[in-house]
A and B are shown apart, each in its own frame.
Chain A
Amino acid sequence: MDVILIQALNGLAASAALFLLAAGLSLIFGVTRVVNFAHGSFAMLGAYLAWWLTSTLAPGLGGFGFWVGILFAALAVGLIAAAVEILLLRRLYGAPELFQLLATFALVLVIADLALLWYGPEQRVGPRAPGLAGGVAVPGGVVPAYDIVLMGLGPAVLGLLQLLLQRTRFGMLIRAATENRALVAAFGIDQRRLFTAVFALGSGLAGLAGALMAPRATVHLGLDLSLIVEAFVVVVIGGLGSVPGAFLGALLIGQVHAFGIVLFPSITLVVVFLVMAAVLVVRPHGLLGAPEDGGPAPGAAGGLPAAPLVPPRAADIPFWLGGIALLAAAPLLLGGFEIEVLSEVAIDALIAASLQFLTGLGGIVSFGHACYVGLGAYAVALSVKQAGFGMLAALALAPLAGLAGGAIFGALCVRLSGVYRAMLTLACAQIVYAIAHQWTDVTGGDNGILGIWPDRWAGEPARYWWLVLAIVAPALWFLRRVAHAPFGLSLRALRDSPRRAEAIGLWLYGRQWAAFALAGGAAGLAGGLLAFLKGTVFPESLGIPVSVEALAMMLLGGVNSLNGPILGAAAFRGLRVFVAAETDLWRLVLGGVLIALCLAFPEGLAGAGARLTRRLRAERGR
C-alpha cells in the first residue's frame, strides 16, 4: 500500500512540469494550428535561463531571488517566442498547413547550436530552491519538499489558465479562435496580435516548465528532443486545444511513468506510447478534445484545397529520360564518396515520395514513417544474416515488409484524423522500435546487425548507384502513375472533400488503408536499399529522427508536387552532408538555410519551380 501511495506522489510531481509544457503546446496548436516542434527547445531555453538566473540571484537574494529567477526565465522565453513568431511564423500562416512544421524543425536545429554556443557543452545543475532542499517523510519513504510545491503548482496554474480563458476577453478570443479561426477573423479581430500573444503565452509556459526542472534535474543540451515527444503525447491524450485535457493527460502520463517503472521496468518508454494508442483507439479525439471541424487538408493553403496535379505530358518524357541518363553518367564526374551521397539522396527521394503519396495525395499526416523504412531495412538484414538470402532476393522482401507494416498500422490509423492520427503513426513506429531494441536474440538489440554488404558485382559505389537508380527511378515513376490513376484521383477527392467523395461511393477507410500499404511498401523498398548502402542496421533506422527528416524533406520540396520529394531530398541531404563536413556548427547553418528557404519558398522548392516555369511560359507566349 505504502509503495502505491509514494509512487502516486512521485507521479504527481512529474505531472506538474508535463502539464505546463503540454498546456502551452495545446494552446498554440488550438489557435494557430502550428505543430510546434520547437516547443521542447523553448523549454530547454527556460531551463538554461533559470539555471543562470537562479545561480546568479539566489546567493544574494535568497528565496525571493530564486523565484524571481524562475519567473524571469519564463518571461524571457515568452519574449523570445514572440520575436520568433513575428519574424518567422507570421510570414508562413498563408503557406500550406503543416509547412510551419518545417520552420519549427529548423528552429530546433538553430536553438540547439545557439544553446551550445551560449552555455557551453557542460551539463548544468541549478541551485536547489531555498528551504526546499530536503525531503518530507510520508508512509513508505520520503518525498522531496520541492516536489510537494510542484504538486500544488500544477493545479494552481490550471486554475489561473481557466480564469484567463473563461473570464477575460483575451481568453474568449483564444477559445473562439480554437473553435473557428475563420469566424474570429470575419469579426474583425486582429489575428496577428492574437497569434503572437498566444504563441508567447504557450512558449512562456514551456519556459516555466523548463525553469521548474532546473532545481531538481539536469539542465543539458538533450532536453529539447526528450521533452517535445512527451509533450505531444500528453496533448494528444488530453485532446488538442484543451487545457483541462492537458492536465488530465499529464496526470495520466505521470502515473503511467511512476507505475510503469514498477511493473515493466525494461520497457518504460514504450508503455507511454501503448497508453496513448489505447486512449486514441477508444477516444479518437483524446480525452477532452472536440472532433475537428474537418479542417483543411495538409496541402491546402489559405482555406483553399491544393491545386489539381498537372497530368503527365508526353513532351516531358525526353526531359526525364535525359535526366536519368545524366544521373547514370554521374560516376564519370564524381568521386566515390559523392556517388554514395547521390545514392543516399535517391533513396531519400523515395522515402519522401512515399510520405508525400500519403500526405500530399491522401491527406494523411504521418509522424512515424521511419517505421516502414526500418521494417524494410530489418527485412533485408535478417534475410541476409539469418536465412542467407542474396542481395536481390533480400531487396525483393523489403517492400513486402514495408507493405505489411503499412497494412497493419494503417488499419489502426485510418479511423483517426489529423494530428491524432499522426501521433498514432508515431506510436506504432515507437512500438516497432522498442521491439527491435528489446528482441536482442533476433535483431541484435542496439548492437544492430552488421556486415550487410551488396553482392560483389554491385559492391563499387558506382555500381551500387546504378542499382539504386535502376530501382528508385521506376519506383518513383510507379508512384507518379498511381497518383494519376483512378486510385490516386479518388484519394485526392477524399482528401479535399471526404463527404462528397463518400457520397459518390468511395470508401474512405478502404482507400486510405490501401494508401498506407502502398506508401509503406515504397518506404520499405527504400529502407532495404539503405541497409545495403550503410552495411549496418540499427534500431535507430526506426527512430523519430528518421521520421522527422522524411517530413522535412517532403515539406521542403513541396507537399503538393510530385517533383517535390526529389528536390527536397537533394537539398536536405546535400546540405546535411556537405555542411557537416565543413563545420561542427552544421545544425546552425542547416537550420538557418532551412528558415531562409521557408521564407523564400513557402510553397516548397517544387512549388517555386512551378511558379517560375509558369512565368517563363507566359513570357514566351506573349
Chain B
Amino acid sequence: MPGRRSLLKGGLAAAGLLGMPGVLRAQAAPIRLGDLNSYTTFAAFTLPYRDGLILAVEEINAAGGILGRRLELVSRDDGGQPGSAVTVANELIQRERAVMLVGTILSNIGLAVADVAARRRIPFLASEPLTDTIVWQNGNRYTFRLRPGTYVQSAMLAEEAAKLPARRWAVIAPNYEYGQSAVRAFREQLLKRRPDVSFVVEQWPALGRIEAGPTLQAVLSAQPDALFNVTFGPDLINLAREGNARGAWRNLPVVSLLTGEPEWGDPLGAEMPEGWIVTGYPYQYLDTPAHNRFRDAYQRRFNTYPRMGSVVGHATGYTVAAAITKAGNTEPDAILAAMSGLSIDTPIGPITYRRADQQSTMGTWVGRTAVRDGKGVMTDFRFGDGAAYLPPEEEARRLRPAG
C-alpha cells in the first residue's frame, strides 16, 4: 500500500511540474477521500475492505472521476484504539484535507470518529461498524452507516430461529457492545415470534480471549435445545473446533451471526460445522450481472475472491462518488444533503440511505452452513433486504438524540 500511495503522490507532483496554468490546475486537483480502518490489528477483515474500496476508486477514475476531478484515496491504519483513531481522523481532515471520512470496523472506533466528524463538521460514512448506536442513540447529522447493523442481522436470524422446535436457548457472545446488543435484539425478536422460549444459560467471553472448552462445557451442562452464537474471528474458530472435538454440534442446533461471511468462516476449512443457521455472503453462488461483474473485476485485480468486506468497501467508494456528484461540489453541507435519501446500485443490489436515521438499507444473506470440497459454504440461502428488517423510519427517528 505505501508504494501505491507514494506513487500517487509522485504522479501528482509530476502533474504539477508540467506547469499547467493555475486555474486549470486547481480544477484538476483531485478530490481527497480519507479512509481509516484497523489495518494492522484486524488485518484479515479490513484488507479485503480496502481492496474493494481501491477497486471502486480505480473504476471511478477510469470512468472520468467525479465532477471532472480524480478521486484520490488517502488510507490510514487507525491503530485499533479509539485514541489513536481520533489522531488519525484529525490528520486526514486537517493535514490531508480530506473532503469526507470513510471506514472503521470496531464499534468504539466508529463512535469516536463519528464524534470527531460532528465536531469538525465533515461527512463520515461508517462503513463497517455493527453497533446500531452509531445511527440511533449516538447518531449525529454528519454520520452515515453502510453495513446492516446487529439489529437487522439478529432480526433475520431470529426469524429463522423461530422455526426451530427449540424452546430452551443458550447464548455465547463476546462481552462488549456488539455482543450485548446482538443478544438483546435476537431475544426481543425471537420472543415476539415465540413467547414460549426461554434463555437458560449465557456465556460472555472477553473478545479474543475465549476459553473455548470450559465455555462450551458450561453451555452444554445446562442442556439447551439450541445455541445463539455471536463470537467471530479467533473466538469463533476456537469454539467451533472445540465443539467438533467434543462432538457437541451433532445434537445442538446453532444460530450464528456473521459465520457465513468468508472472512470469518473460511479459515475453518473442513472444520466448518454443518447445518448452522448463519448470516453471510455466498459469493460463489450469486449469479447476477452486477455481482458477476464485481467478482470478476475483483478477482482480476487482486487475484483472490471477494469477502463481505470487499463488497462494503466497493459500495463505500460508489457512495462517495454518487454523493459528491449529486452535491455538485465538495462542501460538507452539500454532501450531507446529497447523502440523505441517496440511492446507489451495489454488487448485491440497490441501497438507499434513509433520511430518518442515515442508515443504508443494505441487506445480507441468511442460510445454512455446509462443507463442499473441504471448504465451508452457505446453502439454502435467501437475501434479506435491510429495508424489510430495519425499524420504520418514524420509530428510528425517535431513537436519535433530538436536534
- The yes or no verdict on A and B being binding partners is yes
Given known A134-B247, A141-B220, A216-B241, contact A536–B267 (CB-CB < 8 A): no
Taking the closest CB of chain A, its distance from the CB of B182, in whole angstroms, is 14
Given known A217-B212, A268-B204, contact A121–B111 (CB-CB < 8 A): no
Partner of B245, one of A11, A146, A461: A146
Partner of A540, one of B43, B93, B108, B218: B108
Bin chain A's interface residue count.
35 or more
Q: Is A10 an interface residue (CB 8 A)?
A: yes
Taking the closest CB of chain B, its distance from the CB of A141, in whole angstroms, is 6
Residues of chain B lying within 8 A (CB to CB) of residue A279: none
The CA-CA distance from A335 to B96 in the complex, in Å, is: 11
Write the A340-352 contact mask toward B (1 if CB under 8 angstroms, else 0). 1100100000000
In the complex, are the beta carbons of A582 and B2 less than 8 A apart?
yes
The CA-CA distance from A116 to B206 in the complex, in Å, is: 24
Stretch at the interface among B75-83, B146-154, B359-367, B392-400: B75-83
Q: From A266, which residue of chain B is reached at the shortest CB distance?
A: B204
Interface residues of A in 318-359 (CB under 8 A from B): 335-338, 340-341, 344
Write the B114-131 contact mask toward A (1 if CB under 8 angstroms, else 0). 111011000000000001
Residues of chain A lying within 8 A (CB to CB) of residue B86: 534-536
Stretch at the interface among A191-199, A218-226, A288-296, A307-315: A218-226
Given known A447-B107, A447-B133, A585-B2, contact A265–B43 (CB-CB < 8 A): no
Taking the closest CB of chain A, its distance from the CB of B203, in whole angstroms, is 5
Q: Is A304 an interface residue (CB 8 A)?
A: no
Q: Is A470 an interface residue (CB 8 A)?
A: no
In the complex, are the beta carbons of B208 and A144 less than 8 A apart?
no
The CA-CA distance from A124 to B233 in the complex, in Å, is: 11
Q: Is B331 an interface residue (CB 8 A)?
A: no
In the complex, are the beta carbons of B234 and A218 less than 8 A apart?
yes
Residues of chain A lying within 8 A (CB to CB) of residue B40: 112-113, 116, 584, 586-587
Q: Is B59 an interface residue (CB 8 A)?
A: no
Q: Is A149 an interface residue (CB 8 A)?
A: no
Q: Is B294 an interface residue (CB 8 A)?
A: no
The CA-CA distance from A470 to B373 in the complex, in Å, is: 66
Q: Is A316 an interface residue (CB 8 A)?
A: no
Taking the closest CB of chain A, its distance from the CB of B352, in whole angstroms, is 27
Partner of B242, one of A145, A216, A447, A541: A216
Residues of chain A lying within 8 A (CB to CB) of residue B119: 453, 535
Write the B128-161 contact mask toward A (1 if CB under 8 angstroms, else 0). 0001010000100000000000000000000000
The CA-CA distance from A13 to B237 in the complex, in Å, is: 18
Residues of chain A lying within 8 A (CB to CB) of residue B108: 446-448, 538, 540
Given known A222-B234, A447-B177, A534-B112, contact A14–B213 (CB-CB < 8 A): yes
In the complex, are the beta carbons of B215 and A261 less than 8 A apart?
yes
Taking the closest CB of chain A, its distance from the CB of B228, in whole angstroms, is 15
- Count residues of chain B with CB under 8 A from any CB of chain A: 70
The CA-CA distance from A145 to B205 in the complex, in Å, is: 24
Residues of chain B lying within 8 A (CB to CB) of residue A268: 175, 204-206, 209, 211
Residues of chain B lying within 8 A (CB to CB) of residue A123: 44, 233-234, 237, 267
In the complex, are the beta carbons of B43 and A448 less than 8 A apart?
no
The CA-CA distance from A540 to B241 in the complex, in Å, is: 30
Residues of chain B lying within 8 A (CB to CB) of residue A257: 211, 214
Residues of chain A lying within 8 A (CB to CB) of residue B205: 261, 268
The CA-CA distance from A261 to B172 in the complex, in Å, is: 11
The CA-CA distance from A353 to B41 in the complex, in Å, is: 29
Q: From A6, which residue of chain B is reached at the shortest CB distance?
A: B217
Q: Is A133 an interface residue (CB 8 A)?
A: yes
In the complex, are the beta carbons of A141 and B246 less than 8 A apart?
yes
Residues of chain B lying within 8 A (CB to CB) of residue A3: 217, 221
In the complex, are the beta carbons of A135 and B245 less than 8 A apart?
yes
Q: Is B176 an interface residue (CB 8 A)?
A: yes
Partner of A266, one of B79, B175, B246: B175
Q: Is A529 an interface residue (CB 8 A)?
A: no
Q: Is B88 an interface residue (CB 8 A)?
A: yes
Residues of chain B lying within 8 A (CB to CB) of residue A258: 211, 213-214
Given known A122-B267, A125-B269, A135-B247, contact A218–B238 (CB-CB < 8 A): yes
Given known A265-B202, A447-B108, A448-B108, contact A10–B214 (CB-CB < 8 A): yes
In the complex, are the beta carbons of B39 and A269 less than 8 A apart?
no
Q: From B115, which residue of chain A is reached at the shortest CB distance?
A: A450
In the complex, are the beta carbons of B111 and A222 less than 8 A apart?
no
Q: Is A577 an interface residue (CB 8 A)?
A: yes
The CA-CA distance from A335 to B107 in the complex, in Å, is: 30
Given known A125-B271, A262-B218, A445-B176, contact A144–B238 (CB-CB < 8 A): no
Write the A563-603 contact mask toward B (1 if CB under 8 angstroms, else 0). 00000000000001100111111110000000000000000
Residues of chain A lying within 8 A (CB to CB) of residue B79: 580
Residues of chain A lying within 8 A (CB to CB) of residue B83: 530, 534, 538, 540-541, 546
Write the A89-113 contact mask toward B (1 if CB under 8 angstroms, else 0). 0000000000000000000000011
In the complex, are the beta carbons of B87 and A141 less than 8 A apart?
no
Q: Is B1 an interface residue (CB 8 A)?
A: yes
Taking the closest CB of chain B, its distance from the CB of A545, in whole angstroms, is 7
Q: Is B91 an interface residue (CB 8 A)?
A: yes
Interface residues of B in 58-117 (CB under 8 A from A): 76-77, 79, 81-84, 86-88, 90-91, 93-95, 107-108, 111-112, 114-116
Residues of chain A lying within 8 A (CB to CB) of residue B29: none
Partner of B90, one of A337, A448, A546, A576: A337
Residues of chain B lying within 8 A (CB to CB) of residue A581: 76, 88, 91, 95
Q: Is A140 an interface residue (CB 8 A)?
A: yes
Q: From A543, which residue of chain B is reached at the shortest CB distance?
A: B81
In the complex, are the beta carbons of B211 and A586 less than 8 A apart?
no
Q: Is B47 an interface residue (CB 8 A)?
A: yes
Taking the closest CB of chain A, its distance from the CB of B361, in whole angstroms, is 24
Q: From A461, which residue of chain B is reached at the shortest CB distance?
A: B94
Residues of chain A lying within 8 A (CB to CB) of residue B131: 447
Write the A256-300 contact mask toward B (1 if CB under 8 angstroms, else 0). 011101100110110000000000000000000000000000000
In the complex, are the beta carbons of A450 and B138 less than 8 A apart?
yes
Residues of chain A lying within 8 A (CB to CB) of residue B77: 580, 584, 586
Q: Is B356 an interface residue (CB 8 A)?
A: no
Q: Is A155 an interface residue (CB 8 A)?
A: no
Q: From B241, which residue of chain A is reached at the shortest CB distance?
A: A216
Taking the closest CB of chain A, its distance from the CB of B36, in whole angstroms, is 10
The CA-CA distance from A543 to B269 in the complex, in Å, is: 34
In the complex, are the beta carbons of A538 and B267 less than 8 A apart?
no
Q: A217-B234, A445-B176, A577-B91 are in contact. List 6 more A-B contacts (CB 8 A).
A: A123-B233, A134-B247, A135-B247, A218-B233, A437-B175, A451-B118
What 7 pairs between A and B have smallest CB-CB spacing? Answer: A121-B43, A144-B245, A337-B94, A218-B234, A218-B237, A258-B214, A121-B44
Q: What are 26 sample pairs from A and B whose C-beta atoms fall under 8 A apart?
A: A6-B221, A10-B217, A14-B211, A116-B40, A121-B43, A135-B247, A140-B221, A142-B247, A147-B245, A216-B242, A218-B233, A218-B238, A337-B95, A340-B87, A340-B94, A341-B87, A446-B108, A447-B177, A450-B112, A535-B112, A535-B115, A535-B119, A536-B82, A538-B112, A584-B39, A587-B40
Q: Which residues of A contact B (CB under 8 A)?
A: 3, 6-7, 10-11, 13-14, 112-113, 116, 121-125, 128, 133-135, 140-147, 216-218, 220-222, 226, 257-259, 261-262, 265-266, 268-269, 335-338, 340-341, 344, 437, 445-448, 450-451, 453, 461, 530, 534-536, 538, 540-541, 543, 545-546, 576-577, 580-587
